[in-house]
Structure 1
Amino acid sequence: MTGSILLVEDNEKLAAMLRTVLEGRGHQVKGAASGDAALALLQAQRFDLMVLDLKLPGMSGVELLQRVRRSAALKELPVVIMTGVFRGEEYARAAGKLGVKAYLEKPFGKDDFLKAVQGALEQGPARKDIARLLLDLYRSGANGMLELRGGARIFVVGGEPASFSSPSFVPFLVSTSHLQRGDLEQYPPARPGRLPLVEAGLIGYDDLLEQSRLFLFRSLVEALLQNQSPRFTADLAGIELPLTPVSVPRLLHHAAGAASFDLAPYLARCGALCPVRSTEYFRLVNLLNMGPEEVDLLQQLGQGKTVQAILSTCDAPAQGAALIDLMVRLGMLNLSAAPVADQQPDFPQKLLFNRPIEEVAERRAEAVNFEDLVDEVSESIELVVGKKGMAAPLSASEIDFEQEVQRDYAAIQNKNYYEIFGMTPGTFSFATLKEAYFAKTREYSPEKFMQLSGDTLGRAQDVLSHYANAYNTLSSVIAKERYDEMLNADTVGLGGKREDELQARIQFQSGKVFLEMEDYGNAERALQDAYTLDPDDAQTSAYLAWSIYRNPGNQRSQGALEKCRMLLSKSLQAERNADAFAFRGCMLLDEGRDGLAEGEFLKALKLNPHQPQAQGGMRLIKERREAEKKGLFKRIFG
């Protein structure tokens, strides 16, 4: 294993040689030529190991070691001694009492030196910084206990923090108003632990679970930001219930986003290397909850780009570097001197949640053959008149059906929906509407359709579609009210493009009302009619996508999902609108892609602060994250 080493040696030639040896094995080395300089470095940053010469100018190595051992922060720092003066077993034993792991007498060989350094670094998890320790425990699936500063004990089960015992937990509950001091004095818990708080009726069990998980997450993030080196023992004795496990990759990801990152030395070490995905990438990436910027960074992997090139495109390169560094430490990425191909998952994987939003292009309409057309028209007619009461086979009087179609097509021009059925708004009745509608549509039987071709067939379809639109609008109380409002506002004749625009507005408003009623089937039909009449309207595209997505009949259809994505993409290409962003955010949220969903909701709320789906989505994201992040960074950073 490699580590950060402080080399304290006043002999410049020996120090340079030892530094070369250590850096050749991947260690990060800083040097000090005196005890005072070494002490200043120890107070400024954290090291995994100190290699110390006992004979130094000014403060001696012995005095420096004594000060290190008296420091609460440094008392467990591994130390390797080098000396050419203090020889013999007596000095070695005395040094051992001060926690020295190896005692090398000069001259010593390179192999002995490296063995001593490696042995000191491999003193077990208790000597490692908490980030490295958590990773080692996670990979090994270990069970045991971590001791953090302040008396907190973290119980690790199967490699992940799962419980804790801390004197700070009750004060934490008081500070967050989940407990009242007066209640604690009046109803003191009968025994130590967290469950007795529930037994005493001071806090509900679900609240205790939520606050316990939050406290555990908070405590570990604080320890990570403070770069603590906790002691670990493979002992679960005294583990406290309830268990509230925390995902280690998710924890490290949050901490990496909160901590400062020193970009310059990282680029000096890794800027020219190419990050590539490992198989572990696919096992862990769905555990992380990434934002849009992080997802964009991931898409540049596997293209032969160096770390430097990838970070040059980031608005916040230090955060991007922290993410790459974390994924390398998690084993998700490998850094290669030359571009190599990404590895692939070695297990079945349906989705990668942290991937970009798919932009689906609108497909060109596929050619429909004659049989398909007959089937489609037949189904439409059945919906209109039912399976019974269909017209009889053609008689001699029906040979002029083509002429009837032409007359009907001419008759519907420049007429509003009431006039088509021989009514006015004042003489309207549902019984008259039904009778007139069925009288007209019975003439358009499947057998008669099969006689038609060319322009006449197209006009017959237009006539029947016009009858159906008129009937659906006037037979719906809600749609009829909207229609009457628009007629009163538009008293001029209705025909051609003007008619299409009016009908699109009517169907759109009807579809929105059906959505509010959660009648998703009728909403989809109405909005599909609106989209057919006005396919370039951004709002219509967005609401049609939403009605298709919410319709239970489409839940198992991949084609329906692709159509939703296409419609939302088309809507946003036509106009940046809050509804399309919000609907896309809801779809991402259902896929578990919270980070991307949050980005879409924020875009929606920027355009319309009252957009209901965006507001609801943000509330849901907040609830999901509450156990991990609620007030966390605010408390940490004051």
Structure 2
Amino acid sequence: MKKRILIAEDNPQLAVSLKTLLERRGLDCDIAADGVSALTRIVRQPPDLLLLDLRLPRLHGIELLKKLRQSDKTRSLPVIIATGIYKGDKYLQAARKLGVRHYLEKPFKGAELLAAVKAELQPGKTEGQPFAAILAGAFLDRFSGRLQLRSPQQHCSLDLIDGRPVALSPGITQPDFGSWLQSRGLLSAEEYAWYRHAAEGRHTALVEMGCLTYPDLLQEKLAWLSTELVAGFTLPSPAVKRHPYRLPPRLQVVAVNVPRILYEGFHHHPPTGDGLLARHGGEYVALADNYYRYVNFLCLEEEEKKLLPRLDGQRTLQEVLAGLDIGRALLHTLDKLEMIRFAAQPIPAAEPGERPVRTLFNDLEIEADAVEEKLESFGDVLGGEEESAAFVMPAENAASTESSDSSLAAEVRRAHAELQGKNYYEVFGLRSGEFSFDLLKQRYFKLTRKFGPETLMQLGGEEAALVEEILSTVSNAYNTLSDVVKKENYDQLLGSDKIGLGEAGDERFQARIQFQSGLTFLAMEEWEEAEKALQDASNIDTNNGIYLANLAWAIYKNPNNAQSRAMRDKARQLLARALTLERSGEGFAYKGWMHLDAGQDSLAEAEFGKALKLDPRQVLARRGLKQLREKREQEKKGLFKRMFG
């Protein structure tokens, strides 16, 4: 029996396209154009899967999802969210709390949707397959979970997030990561024994022992995993069973150094007051056991390193800090991670114990002129850290909630009105001549927290749409002002114009900024950045032939696309459409070079000629014709040499 999918989407063209795509895969699909219709159909006959757009008329997609999760009949209904408005990790996490595993941000590719549908509707496979097929299949499906691989010679588990391997146990050629390090002379026998047994194979123990720095640990882990996966190609068609994880799609796998993040967080955002000193200033302070677990994950300034030897348990906190010119970031970090302890009487400081510590990276250098190598600052990362979001379930029939919602709605309307007619600097209360990136970042995150998911999920109707407009403007303003190239172009284009929510030209103005940035990146041969900026411009002004022509050239020249026939074809198709919309010198020049690269010299010469008719100074076209002339001269010389040499 065919699986039934309900597509809740108010864009009729997109809904029909999705229906066609899924029906070609043997699925039965219905379309609901608004939230009320979707809810009615689900209650009448629940489908096997709901493909849900969040911004639906009559009943918002978020409210529809909440209602489904409140009913026993539909609580476990698989849902795939497809949205072009609610983007970012906060929304992914919020959706996950309502049982949504697959969260697609528009525009998405058909393959992404099909992979999500397959993951929701089909159980894992158990038949034997070549290792290459297993790995490629999981990657293409963007599978998140554990693969259990079994063959006569090998049983192992491979963990993946978004189709990318992150862990393997045991290895293919080595039993574990530590054994691989020992085989390369990076671990001694004693260190490996402690790592495997006392530390139970915990990779971060290698940093605790001072065998590897944290960046080296990450690099070695990736090298080991890559080597083992290549060795997996020698396995004879193992049987595989999938165990999916409930993780959001497009999860960016980043190995986070938590102690360093805490340190930077306290450094950039210190707690108000000095409660730690007030509570423990007169108490004795000493190193605790956790000190040796986490201290090597920190990279301290020379003045901060002077604090550590003083934490011997024989001095009070006030005595320890006397004469030191340091902030409180390190102290708060040590306290938060329980790396220090306090007592009313002198106490002994902790020792490394059985852990074979090779090096403590933050010990003071003996030589006065020794230079400490500093790790990269995480300040910008921490500036973007935000609290996790959750879809808030409003209490029903609660007068206090209604009053709160009314107040919140009024605040949203007031904030929206205040943004009318403001330029991007004014959105954040800044002036062009007094620009501060730190202040920009601080006010950006203040605004996005204020009008983030928790606010949005409490609103509906007109106020929710206003929040979306506010966030869109704030995001556009921040993305422009935080990028040096885009900011420079914005300053040139801004002049005396006031661009904001109240101006109809806001989106096209933003497109011009992105286009100018794209041209700058093209001139610098920063192809990937050019592609991103020009794609943004083309997404806003979809029928601008000049934007599309330059986007096609950026895609074509991007080295990341060099081996992708699909991307090369996409570039040619975009360029053909661009020239249909607007005949331009650069468009014909780009087309000429594509022909020239393909060895089609006559076609290339014709396109260069068209380019120069429209723009006699077109540099790329002139360069192309010059190369053609030089090539023909060389061919003539070669022919003459063969005939008379």
Shorter-chain TM range is 0.3 to 0.5
User: TM (normalized to structure 2)?
Assistant: 0.37
From the CA coordinates, give the structure whose radius of gyration is larger: 1
TM-score (norm 1): 0.37
